[in-house]
Structure 1
Amino acid sequence: MREGYDGGMTDISDQSANTGESSADHFPQSGRLAAVDYGTVRIGIAICDPDRILASPYEVYPASGPSKDAAYFKTLVKEERVSGFVVGLPIHCDGGESQKSRECRTFARWLFEQTGVPVRLFDERFSTSAAKQRLSGGGLTRGRKKQRLDAVAALVLLESFLESSRYHGAIPGQSIHDQTDGGDSLSDDDN
Structure 2
Amino acid sequence: MRIMGLDFGSKTVGVAISDALLLTAQGIEIIERKEENKLRKTMARIEELIEEYEVQEIVLGLPKNMNDTLGARAELSMEFKENLERRTGLHVKMWDERLTTVAADKVMMEAGIRRENRKQHVDRIAACFILQGYLDYLKNEENK
Return the TM-score normalized by structure 2.
Answer: 0.91
SS of 1:147's partner is coil
Alignment of 1:10-49 (within 5 A): 31-49=1-19
Q: Which residue number in structure 1 is paired with residue 81 of structure 2?
A: 108
Question: Counterparts of 2:142 and 2:66 in 1: how far apart (Å)?
Answer: 25
Question: Counterparts of 1:165 and 1:138 in 2: how far apart (Å)?
Answer: 28
SS of 2:28's partner is strand
Q: Which residue number in structure 1 is paired with residue 49 of structure 2?
A: 76
Residue 154, structure 1, aligned to residue 122, structure 2 = no
The match for 2:94 among 118, 121, 129 is 121
Structure 1 residues 20-45: Cα deviation after superposition (integer angstroms, max 9, x where no partner): xxxxxxxxxxx111100001201111
Residue 63, structure 1, aligned to residue 36, structure 2 = no
Higher relative contact order (CA 8 A, sep 6+): 2
Question: Counterparts of 2:78 and 2:124 in 1: how far apart (Å)?
Answer: 19
Question: Counterparts of 1:105 and 1:127 in 2: how far apart (Å)?
Answer: 18
Asked if structure 1 preserves the Cα contact closer than 8 Å seen for 2:24 and 2:135, the reply is no
Instruction: Give 1:169 shift.
Output: 3.0
Question: Counterparts of 1:166 and 1:93 in 2: how far apart (Å)?
Answer: 26
Instruction: Give 1:139 shift.
Output: 2.3
Instruction: Give 1:146 shift.
Output: 1.0
Equivalent residue letter for 2:107 = R
- When the two chains are superposed, the root-mean-square deviation of aligned CA atoms in Å is 1.4
Residue 144, structure 1, aligned to residue 117, structure 2 = yes
Equivalent residue letter for 2:12 = R
Identical aligned residues as a percent: 27
Equivalent residue letter for 2:130 = L
Alignment of 1:162-181 (within 5 A): 162-169=135-142
Determine which structure has the larger helix proportion and give its number: 2
Question: Counterparts of 1:92 and 1:79 in 2: how far apart (Å)?
Answer: 34
Structure 1 residues 28-66: Cα deviation after superposition (integer angstroms, max 9, x where no partner): xxx111100001201111111111012111111103522
Q: Which residue number in structure 2 is paired with residue 183 of structure 1?
A: none
- Count of residues in Structure 1 that have an aligned counterpart in Structure 2: 140
Question: Counterparts of 1:99 and 1:169 in 2: how far apart (Å)?
Answer: 34
Instruction: Give 1:159 shift.
Output: 0.8
Determine which structure has the larger strand proportion and give its number: 2
Instruction: Give 1:141 shift.
Output: 2.8
Query: Which entry has the higher C-alpha Rg, 1 or 2?
Result: 1
Instruction: Give 1:78 shift.
Output: 0.8
| Unaligned 5+ runs, structure 2 | none
